[in-house]
Structures are given as C-alpha cells and as structure tokens.
Amino acid sequence: MKKILIVDDDISITLLLEKILSRAGFSVVVVNESSQAMRKAQELNPDLFILDLMMPQPNGFEVCRALRADATFSNTPILIITASDDYDSKAIAYAAGASDYITKPFDHEELITRIKEVL
C-alpha cells in the first residue's frame, strides 16, 4: 500500500483528501502544521507528498524546497493542491521541485488519476 503524506493547514481539506485517498487504497497521514512536515516525512518515508502552498511558515514552496534538498526525498513525487491558480505560483512550485499541480476545487477522479501517474 502506497503511503501519502498530506501537508495542509486547512483541516476540512485534509479530512476530505484523507477520505478520498483512503477509499482509493492509499495509506494516508496528515500534518496540519507545515513546521512538522519534515519531521513527519523522515518518520514516515512516504511514497508521495501532497502540499498546499498557502500555509503559515514555512509555506508550501519552502516545504517543497526542503524536501527536494533532502537526499531521501529528492525523487519522491510532490503533488501541489492549492487555490493559487496564477502562472507565477505554478512556475515557482515547479521550480521548487513539484511533480504536479492541481488547483482547488478539484475533481476526485482526476486527483486519483494524477496521483497514480506520478507514482
């Protein structure tokens, strides 16, 4: 079973993602404080990260860069799910190491398909 670590400060979104992904057969762990993301990543060693961008410090861009800087996670897929739909946010996210980028609101089936593609 593939392990997914979700990092998002919006509890309603993480509950929804956890429900969708668990039903799809993934093992899901949620962190609602971005400051705990690296500790939890090292503890869990997930197969995929799902990050929001707009979080208190560190923001999602910074978490993405930190994950990519860690040799353990340099090749682990990172999926950004965020409300930021502008070109600059997408460009910065990809430059920080994101594997894919989905905007909120998202289609549940598309989410599962995109996750399977990056895995």
Q: Tokens 């999926």 correspond to what residue? A: 79
Q: How far apart are CA 2 and CA 74, in angstroms?
A: 17
Taking the model in full, what pTM does it have?
0.96
The predicted pLDDT at position 2 comes to 97
The predicted pLDDT at position 99 comes to 98
Q: In terms of residues, how long is the chain? A: 119
The predicted pLDDT at position 81 comes to 96
> What residue ranges in the chain does DSSP mark as E strands?
3-7, 27-31, 48-51, 78-82, 100-103
> Which CATH code for domain 3-112?
3.40.50.2300
pLDDT per residue as tens digits for the range 24-57: 999 999 999 999 999 999 999 999 999 999 999 9
Backbone angles phi, psi at 81, to 5 degrees: -125, 115
pLDDT per residue as tens digits for the range 1-17: 999 999 999 999 999 99
Average of per-residue pLDDT across 59-79: 97
In the chain, domain spans: 3-112
